[in-house]
Structure 1
Amino acid sequence: MRLGVLILPDSPWAVAVDKWRRADELGFDSAWTYDHIWWRGLCDDPWYAAVPVLSAAAAVTDRVRIGIMVASPNFRNPVMTAKEAIAIDDISIGRFTLGVGSGAPSAGDAEVLGGPALTPAQRTRRFTEFVEMTSELLDNDVTTRTGGYFGAQLARMIPGSVQKPRLPLAVAASGRNGLKLTARLGDSWITAGPADWTAGHTPEECLDETAAQVAQLRVDMAVAGRDFDAMSRIMIATPMCGNPVESAEECLRIATEYARIGMTDLIIHWPRESGVYQGDPRVLTTIADTVLPRLAEL
């Protein structure tokens, strides 16, 4: 089991840079940030763009894997998403993971570009096309593709990723269609358990739902003729799965539970001074000292 941290992009870089460096120094396996224009209850608070933040983070860290959680077609185009991912992979010297997701309407910025609201079926088709096209762009130097939502005309991705055969494409999915898509095109899988993490699910329900998703993904991977064990399976810890930054003991307990059902990575949020994910950041030092060595054995 690997352990990563998610650092919200809500601080000026002069403040945030110390968090990214600290995540690297403490030995966390990965460090991520959310990709939104604004986010939920923090919509009127400071919030910075993910790609510049990750580019800067790539330049000031040495070993930690960095990732975006998650780029979505709500305001992303596959061509620029792939091009920017290749650039960050270069800056990080091969430490970047491109997380992609359909984009939750409840996040607040799903319709920031305007236009009519999409039905669930339309959102599914758009996301499928987004992932298919992004995957094709990462696999090829030049891509031409026409779709219902996106297109590319001789889109060049030269020189491609530092990581070979390509940088990892991590697909966020919880439902049947998304898991099939992950099994077909994903290099990693991201879930938060139940699709609606604001619905008041208990930690037990979250664990059970995630276990069911793992089992279904195993089936879908077999159908797709791909190796389930070769795919990273990433759990992003929202409040419904518990509070892993309450203490090192709680972090270890939650990580052990999710390792038992087949997850390979747990992502915890960097504690904030107030509001969502409030906590004492000093707990991260204790977690690094006492939990990381134990997780390496799981």
Structure 2
Amino acid sequence: MSLRLSTVILPYRRWQEGGRSAWIRAEQLGFHTAYTYDHLSWRSFRNGPWFGAVPTLTAAAAVTDRIRLGTLVASPNFRHPVPFAKELISLDDISGGRVTLGIGAGGTGFDATALGQEVWTPRERADRFAEFVFLLDRLLTEDTVSYEGEFYSAHEARNIPGCVQRPRLPFAVAATGPRGQRLAARYGQAWVTTGDPKLYENGTPEQSVRALRAQIEKLAEACAAEGRAVTELDKILLTGFTPDRGRPLESLDAFVDFAGRHQELGFTEIVVHWPIPDSDFASDEKVFETIALEATAQLT
């Protein structure tokens, strides 16, 4: 399978002041998918502008025709499956069936306490995520759902007419641990990773490749337990969080080398951050566009 190249556009600009043009340009450059983060605020952007993922993706759907759109990733930190399912079905309809739901367990950042709750333990996050994915899958595939769970409930929740994509829009499940990977194997059409976070500060690119190989091997075991082949799932690497950091975007050759090594591991999609000046995602816009236009032809 040829490698897909996608981008993630952070929602920090007003729509009329550069937000709109980035999504249009992403389609012109031929990216497979344009994602955005689903946060209430994020890291160094907390004290500046930051807009909602679903309205941003809805606006992006209205100004594009071909590029897929998605979250990377949504989580239970501030989402409830019932209203979120309605928003996703609406977004899938508006986009003409171009939406992928990137979904993960969430972390301990600002979103984790924005609703006034205490930070969940890793076990509670995993428990909530499992129920969240289970219920969201039902809500997106059944006309009417009633459910009483430990964390979430639904009473005659109706989602007619359902997704444009059948049986529902695809899930791209972010997971590195065994429970999350089992969810990816059971419900996912794709699996997402950012690498091994323990290697970000002091690891080497070689160590990162070995860690990612081990993650894919564990994913294969989880798929086998669900009666699926690991080849059934797309494997997505969100870049910028491995020891390589921004180096793959320094030149076309650097990116092709980076992407080729990860394609050999079995990754089917590489996601790069749209350049943001004076941030962790700063990169040369001309080099970025060259990579978008030329890299995949060298990786087929």
TM-score range with shorter-chain normalisation? over 0.9
- Tell me what 2:146 maps to: 144
Contact 1:100 1:170 survives alignment (8 Å):
yes
Contact 1:171 1:188 survives alignment (8 Å):
yes
Gaps of 5+ in 2: none
Letter in 1 for 2:15: W
Instruction: Tell me the alpha carbon deviations over residues 127-166 of structure 1, each in whole angstroms, 9 at most, x when there is no partner.
Output: 1111111111112111111111111011111111111121
**Aligned equivalent of 1:18, options 14, 17, 21:** 21
Give the alignment of 1:142-291 within 5 angstroms.
Answer: 142-195=144-197, 199-242=201-244, 243=246, 244-291=248-295
Deviation at 1:292, TM superposition (A): 2.3
- Tell me what 2:82 maps to: 79
**Distance in 2 between residues matched to 1:101 and 1:124, nearest whole Å:** 9
**Distance in 2 between residues matched to 1:196 and 1:126, nearest whole Å:** 24
Give the alignment of 1:99-110 within 5 angstroms.
Answer: 99-105=102-108, 107-110=109-112
Contact 2:104 2:174 survives alignment (8 Å):
yes
Moved more, 116-125 or 255-264: 116-125
Give the alignment of 1:10-49 within 5 angstroms.
Answer: 10-14=12-16, 15-49=18-52
Letter in 2 for 1:194: D
Letter in 1 for 2:127: R
Deviation at 1:208, TM superposition (A): 1.6
**Distance in 2 between residues matched to 1:199 and 1:124, nearest whole Å:** 25
- Tell me what 2:54 maps to: 51
**Distance in 2 between residues matched to 1:117 and 1:291, nearest whole Å:** 41
Instruction: Tell me the alpha carbon deviations over residues 150-191 of structure 1, each in whole angstroms, 9 at most, x when there is no partner.
Output: 110111111111111211011110111111111111121111
**Distance in 2 between residues matched to 1:179 and 1:78, nearest whole Å:** 20
**Aligned equivalent of 1:130, options 129, 132, 154:** 132
Whether 1:98 aligns to 2:101 is: yes
CA RMSD of aligned residues (A): 1.4
Letter in 1 for 2:54: V
Instruction: Tell me the alpha carbon deviations over residues 191-250 of structure 1, each in whole angstroms, 9 at most, x when there is no partner.
Output: 111145755433222222111111111111111012321211110002425223222112
Letter in 2 for 1:60: V
Indicate how the Cα distance of structure 1 residues 269 and 87 shifts in structure 2: closer, same or farther if over 3 A, else same: same
May I ask how many residue pairs the two structures share in their alignment?
Answer: 295
Letter in 2 for 1:70: V
**Distance in 1 between residues matched to 2:255 and 2:133, nearest whole Å:** 32
SS at match of 1:163: coil
**Aligned equivalent of 1:119, options 108, 118, 121:** 121
Letter in 2 for 1:96: V
Indicate how the Cα distance of structure 1 residues 152 and 200 shifts in structure 2: closer, same or farther if over 3 A, else same: farther
Scaled by the length of structure 2, the TM-score of the pair is 0.94
**Distance in 1 between residues matched to 2:118 and 2:284, nearest whole Å:** 42
Deviation at 1:50, TM superposition (A): 0.6
TM superposition outliers: structure 1 runs of 4+ over 3 Å: 195-201
SS at match of 2:154: strand
Indicate how the Cα distance of structure 1 residues 197 and 67 shifts in structure 2: closer, same or farther if over 3 A, else same: farther
**Distance in 2 between residues matched to 1:282 and 1:269, nearest whole Å:** 14
Indicate how the Cα distance of structure 1 residues 34 and 123 shifts in structure 2: closer, same or farther if over 3 A, else same: same
Contact 1:175 1:195 survives alignment (8 Å):
no
**Distance in 2 between residues matched to 1:197 and 1:118, nearest whole Å:** 24
**Distance in 2 between residues matched to 1:247 and 1:80, nearest whole Å:** 43
**Distance in 1 between residues matched to 2:136 and 2:11, nearest whole Å:** 24
Contact 2:197 2:241 survives alignment (8 Å):
no
Indicate how the Cα distance of structure 1 residues 178 and 239 shifts in structure 2: closer, same or farther if over 3 A, else same: closer
SS at match of 2:82: helix
Moved more, 113-122 or 22-31: 113-122
**Distance in 2 between residues matched to 1:257 and 1:9, nearest whole Å:** 30
Gaps of 5+ in 1: none
